[in-house]
A and B are shown apart, each in its own frame.
Chain A
Amino acid sequence: MDAWIEFGRGPLFRLCFTLMVLGLARIAVLTVIGMVEALKKNEDKIVPWRELFNKTFTWLVPVTVLFRTRPVYSLVSFLFHIGLIITPLFFTAHVLLWKRSVGFGWFTLPQSLADYLTLTVIVGGLLLFLMRVLYGPARAISRKQDYVWPLLLVIPFLTGYLCVNGSISAATYRWMMLMHVLTGNLIMVMIPFTKIAHCILIPFSQLVTGIGWKFPRGAGDLVIETLGYKDRPTWVEKPRLGCESMDRVEREADDK
């Protein structure tokens, strides 16, 4: 059992972490390439950079815009995200593992604060799940992964919390720790391939939209050429079916 745990937080962690970093780097680079290529293709290079950066920053720290719609959900989600990002990065035991492995560590959270943040994530994750299940519009647009993610994210936090604070037997502790390590690794591998990719993509979103509204000149003509239309369908005076104009059909129907 101990060997498995050691494997989980040693070689397996290194593999999963590398996959996550490479995966996220890949989509970030692809996004940047997409933006650069679009700008190159456009004759119009006027982009409201300042406004787009402002919007990006506003949504990275969304305190001013959070409560306009769905305030409760938004607040829970905000706190959930804070715990989710900060706790794993600055938890003392995690930093110690890094120190052991790569030789350097960094600032760590006081234990009590880490505990509160962990509880926030656990409660927040469950609430987010419930709000998705119980709120009609959210249910209408949810995919499978949208239900799975909040629950999956809670598991390493719950097991981690129990390991640190629970009065549990040594055997249970090992099981908990194994689950903690394995789900943590699983999450890292899945991040680049699922919606959690938004963790790296959000800073680009406003720029992508801003540049997306700029169109290349002459593209419309090229589209027509590629499609092989002699005329755009909606520019042709006569109906294209070769049958009578729809107006006549309508008139006849009216006459009846």
Chain B
Amino acid sequence: MKPLITEQERETAFKFPKKQEIIDKQRLPVRYHVEDFDVEDRPRRFLEAFAAILKHTNYRFVLDHYVKVSAKCSRCAVACQIYLATGDDQDIPCYRSELLLSVYRRHFTMSGILRGRIFGDPGLTDEQIQEMADSFWNCTACRRCHFECPVGIDHAIVTHLGRYILSEIGIAPRALVVSTREQLIGKTGNTSAIPVPALLDSLEFLSEDMEEEKGIDIPFPIDQEGAEYLFVPAVSDFLMEADTLMGNAAVFRATGDSWTVGTGYFDGINYGLFYSDHVLEKVVQKIEAEAERLKVKKILIGECGHASRSAYFFYPTFCGGKDALPVINIMEYTYQALKEGRIKLDPDVVTEKVTYHDPCNIVRSGWIVEQPREILKAFCKNYVEMTPNRRNNICCGGGGGTVSIDEIRPYRTMVGGRVKADQIRATGAKYCVAPCANCKKQLRELMEDNGIDCEIVGLHDLLYKAIIFESAKKSEVIRGENSRNHMEEV
């Protein structure tokens, strides 16, 4: 199949950022950085980790099923934005899954073991591990291929397991590992290493800002025991997405519901979803501990795809099943409030063309599809859809944790996001709303590297511009006018 990228782009995208001596020492020429770990006997340790995981988890029956049912129809190839960009056979989802499934078949099924004995097949090799380490981190785990598979295989679950096994023998992107370590055993307890005083400072600063702009006191409640909602955004929002946070706070100011940010734990990011079930569990349980400490009634996740998915789907898994606290996303909350008429939005503020990007982690399951669209249509005059959209939307190219690996940026913006870039360019939109911390970072880099003139914003960023407080001081009308003029200048 003809690739979308040119030979030259391919060379840049797949360039090695690593020094030769490091490759020699680690014996693992993958494009992302990894920490030091044992290099001897990798196949044996891989198989041990694989066996231990199969023993204690549910993956065995899934792999058993996939091994039998796979019909190799190759419909998934056309659904994969990585394969469309590179045209390399090894980027076909089914090919990628087969890397791990063949190891399973050879070492963990009766027929495979027998065949190995009879034909003298030595089994798993270092080269295979190398190939998996590369391939599983090329994938953005967007699950789009799952929707094209006639026999119902979910290649993302195989990638997910493959990454888990690799991480147990020390092969995982250093960027993710270092952040997770800070989150789980570090001093600050969050992935961006923000100390609590700094957090409080910046929230206070935002409140002052909002009072100036909207003429009304909009607080960020801190450590409010017994609040209705515990607010857990992606922690990077506190550093980089001030507008999103202000939008979130403004919605709560308008509805008057009680919510709180907990100083004990305020990070929704969960890289466990990308590389380790163990991490996934520990991080989700940190949210549980904070919810218990503050005796809140619900968990509210900010604008972030993977944080939402890891909490919504795995909070019950690791924190008490059906008895677990309900988890909702801020967009669901805002949509509900809008429907009940508790938020007033000015339809004349945002006049530019706006489009919406569905983050894979919240849309593929059909969880949050129409809510953000309804919100946007309520105040954006010029709203357009991308094609394809909704559950079939194309991944930003930075999913599955790859966006946090800075050294592979050329790969992400040339290969991973290639199809996405064309898709956004085709809409001609001025604003692309991407309610996800991962997608925002990736899409901004994508726009920059591909020279597309489109501003990537969060949903609540735009909403903040349009929200009206009737109780605000009179002088605010003028300020509102000013901000509108400012918007047009932008």
Contacts from A to B (Cβ < 8 Å): 27, 30-31, 34-35, 37-38, 41-46, 51, 55-56, 59, 62, 65, 68-70, 73-74, 77, 135-138, 140-143, 146, 195, 197-198, 201-202, 204-206, 208-209, 211-224, 226-227, 232-235, 237, 239-241, 243, 245-246, 249-250, 253
Contact = CB atoms under 8 A, between A and B. Distances in A.
14 contacts: A38-B61, A43-B317, A51-B366, A70-B75, A138-B72, A197-B69, A198-B151, A220-B277, A220-B282, A222-B52, A223-B57, A234-B180, A241-B38, A243-B36
A77 B72 CA distance: 13
Contact of A223 (B53, B62, B98): B53
A231 to B, nearest CB: 9
Interface string B35-65: 1111100000000110011011111111011
A219 B57 contact: yes
Interface of B: 1, 19, 21-22, 25-26, 33, 35-39, 48-49, 52-53, 55-62, 64-65, 68-75, 77-79, 83, 89, 92, 94-95, 98, 146-148, 150-154, 157, 167-170, 172, 177, 180-181, 184-185, 276-282, 313-314, 316-318, 320-322, 366, 392
Contacts of B39: 241
Contact of B38 (A41, A143, A240): A240
B391 to A, nearest CB: 11
A201 to B, nearest CB: 5
Given A140-B92, A249-B21, 9 more contacts: A31-B61, A34-B64, A137-B92, A208-B65, A214-B58, A219-B57, A223-B49, A227-B168, A234-B177
B320 A43 contact: yes
Of B35, B59, B64, B320, which is in contact with the most chain A CB atoms at under 10 Å from its CB?
B35
Contact of A141 (B65, B98, B170, B280): B98
Contact of B317 (A42, A198, A202): A42
Contact of B94 (A38, A141, A197, A202): A141
Contacts of B92: 137, 140-141
B165 to A, nearest CB: 10
A148 B281 CA distance: 45
B480 to A, nearest CB: 43
Of B70, B169, B278, which is in contact with the most chain A CB atoms at under 10 Å from its CB?
B278
Given A69-B79, A217-B318, A209 B37 contact: no
Contacts of A56: 152
A interface: dominant SS: helix
A217 B53 CA distance: 13
The 3 closest A-B pairs by CB, nearest first: A205-B152, A34-B61, A220-B278
A246 B22 contact: yes
Given A227-B49, A233-B37, A140 B58 contact: no
A235 B72 CA distance: 38
B73 A138 contact: yes
B interface: dominant SS: helix
Nearest to B161: A212
A219 B22 contact: no
A191 to B, nearest CB: 11
A16 B434 CA distance: 57
Nearest to A205: B152
A206 to B, nearest CB: 5
A148 to B, nearest CB: 12
Nearest to A235: B181
Contacts of B317: 42-44, 214-215, 217
Contacts of A249: 19, 21-22, 25
Contact of A45 (B146, B177, B281, B321): B321
Contact of B69 (A142, A205, A219, A234): A205
B65 A234 contact: no
Contacts of B152: 55-56, 59, 202, 205-206, 208-209
Contacts of A220: 276-282
A41 B57 CA distance: 8
Nearest to B165: A223
A142 B1 contact: no
A16 to B, nearest CB: 20
Given A198-B71, A219-B277, A227-B48, A212 B62 contact: yes
A233 B170 contact: yes
Contacts of B26: 246
A42 B95 CA distance: 30
B25 to A, nearest CB: 7
A204 B78 CA distance: 25
Contacts of B281: 215, 217-220
Contact of B58 (A137, A195, A211): A211
A240 B185 CA distance: 17
B349 to A, nearest CB: 37
A232 B281 CA distance: 14
A67 B57 CA distance: 36
B129 to A, nearest CB: 14
A240 B39 CA distance: 10
A245 B153 CA distance: 41
B62 A215 contact: no
A219 B150 contact: no
A254 to B, nearest CB: 8
A195 B75 contact: no
Contacts of B157: 209, 212-213
Contacts of A224: 278
Given A62-B150, A214-B58, A232-B278, A31 B65 contact: yes
A142 B73 CA distance: 8
B71 A195 contact: yes
B185 A235 contact: yes
Nearest to B90: A140
Contacts of A41: 58
Contacts of B180: 234-235
A142 B320 CA distance: 43
Nearest to A242: B36
A249 B38 CA distance: 17
Contact of B168 (A69, A206, A232): A232
Given A240-B36, A243-B36, A205 B53 contact: no
Contacts of A31: 61, 64-65
A252 B167 CA distance: 27
Contacts of A74: 75, 150
A209 B145 CA distance: 13
A27 B109 CA distance: 14
